[in-house]
Amino acid sequence: MEKNIQIPEGVKVSVAGSKVSVSGKNGNQEKDFASPLFAGVLKIETDGKVFKVSTDETKRKIKSEVGTVASLVQNMIEGCQKNYTAKMKVIFMHFPITVKVSGAQLQITNFLGEKKPRAAEILAGCKVEVKGDEVFVSGNKKEDVGQTCANIERASWIKARDRRVYQDGIFIIEKSW
């Protein structure tokens, strides 16, 4: 099985063993695809214009890994060309929520009237902006932008209350991927 990805103009992809590096106008990304399960089974190579992942194995698990590596490298190439962005909305019914960026954390204060503020981790390489009741998360790594959004949603999660009544929180309303 083999997957090929065309490398667009202005993007450089290099392979060193199982480590893939992608650089473009929007930054650099690097990922190591080393795994003891697939060592020596996957062939990762590039000629500058085409990135190729292949295997001679017939096992379904190994063939699925070919598609996974190709998809992750495609996301890296797109991220080096443009930013991934997500738009989140702050929703409250009971107490007005205040959201602000403080270093590498997003501080959520007065959530359901709580005295102690809640915090969500912002991963390195992600930019978070708060404009009124909207939160914008952007970055060139799709995984990091998605994980930062998940951290924010998880920090505003309601436990021990009826979700039909308490619908407060910060939720993703729009994604650009």
Domain limits of the chain?
Answer: 2-81, 84-175
Q: Report angle CA 72, 21, 19 to the nearest 5 degrees.
A: 80
Tell the CATH topology of 84-175. Answer: Outer Surface Protein A; domain 3 (3.90.930)
**How much is the mean pLDDT over the chain?**
93
Closest CA to 122 of 152, 78, 164, 155: 152
pLDDT for position 101 = 97
Q: What are the residue ranges in the chain where pLDDT is below 70? A: none
Report DSSP state, residue 174: E
pLDDT for position 39 = 75
Which phi and psi (to 5°) does residue 110 adopt?
Answer: 60, 30
pLDDT for position 85 = 97
Is residue 145 within 8 A of residue 82, CB to CB? The reply is no
pLDDT for position 177 = 81
Q: Distance between CA 156 and CA 144 in Å, rounded?
A: 19
84-175 shares the fold of 2-81: yes
Per residue in 109-152, pLDDT (tens digit) is 999 999 999 999 999 999 999 999 999 999 999 999 999 999 99
pLDDT for position 9 = 92
| Homologous superfamily, domain 2-81 | Ribosomal protein L6 (3.90.930.12)
